[in-house]
Amino acid sequence: MQPAKPIAVLVVTDDLQSRWPRLRESLSSQTSADFQTVVVDNASNGSDGEDAPDIVVLRNIRRQPLHICLNRGWSLIKNRWEGQPLAERFVFCVSADMLLAPNLFEVLSGAMSADPTLVMAGADMYPSRFELAGGETPELMQGETHLGSGWVLRTARGPFPAPAAPKKYFAPFPQAVMIRASSLAGLGADPFAALDPRLVWLDAMWRIRSNGGRSEPVEGASVWLQPGASLAKPGFFLYLRWVWSRRLRLPSRVTPEQRSSWFV
């Protein structure tokens, strides 16, 4: 692997042969080359991803929970950045189900570099599909139906969607989010540990927000959901369980105003 770069891409997947190759292609098309990729292969049978100098594949012999995979990838990334200013380093966590706009890293890292208070940055999400376009081989087409705007980042403070935004979704895993490395490091040795493994991302985002800083989508940043991929949503009672656990564990430094804004 080449010397550490300011952006680290973290991907967790259990199938290196299906959607990962398309994500990998969109990564290679980025206008910014200041990134390297860490793929945590969660006990898949694939082998793609090992033949590039800027990609490291960490393999699990047996399938592991999401938080263990994320912590393993983060540990490697953090060690490679030892001695470097983590406030100027960014971790791009992305689902293998995504396709990225060519300028995505340039837009997200540019916004976060310009605003030190921005600790998590998301993108507009759209669907994609295969279509026959004048030939027998289907072509990948990028749709225009808006699925969300990184709403999961802002809604880490509460469990339900705002009535004024019916098209915006909530998911336990942010399909594409850039996080300031210093914010992750501030969560301790295992930043992705959670009370419930199904809500790893919700828990991590809550703790990042409680430490200060803003999280929001960045204008001009776009990603596409690959054909056949779905947006998983936890159940109602799982939300309530998480919200109640957080009410009992609010840090003492949080003000009453902050408490009420998180649970509305």
Per DSSP, the residues of 122-190 read EEEEEEEEEEE-SSSSEEEEE-----EESHHHHGGG-SS--TT-TT----SS-SEEEEEHHHHHTT-S-
DSSP 106: H
pLDDT score recorded for residue 172? 40
Nearest of 20, 12, 16 to residue 66 by alpha carbon: 12
pLDDT score recorded for residue 243? 59
pLDDT score recorded for residue 231? 66
The Cα 146–Cα 126 span in angstroms is 5
Cα 172 to chain centroid distance, Å, stands at 10
Residue 201, CB-side half-sphere exposure with 13 Å CA sphere = 25
pLDDT score recorded for residue 38? 95
Contact indicator for 128, 225 with CB cutoff of 8 Å:
yes
For the question of whether the overall pTM of this predicted structure is more than 0.85, the answer is no
The Cα 184–Cα 249 span in angstroms is 19
The angle at the Cα of 120, spanning 70 to 223, to the nearest 5 degrees, equals 80
CATH class belonging to 7-262: alpha beta
Walk along the chain (264 residues) in steps of 10 and give the mean pLDDT of each run: 82 86 92 92 71 84 90 95 95 91 95 93 83 63 70 41 37 73 92 74 78 82 84 56 55 46 37
The two three-digit tokens of residue 186, written as one number: 């501030």
The Cα 84–Cα 78 span in angstroms is 10
Domain edges within the chain:
7-262
pLDDT score recorded for residue 198? 66
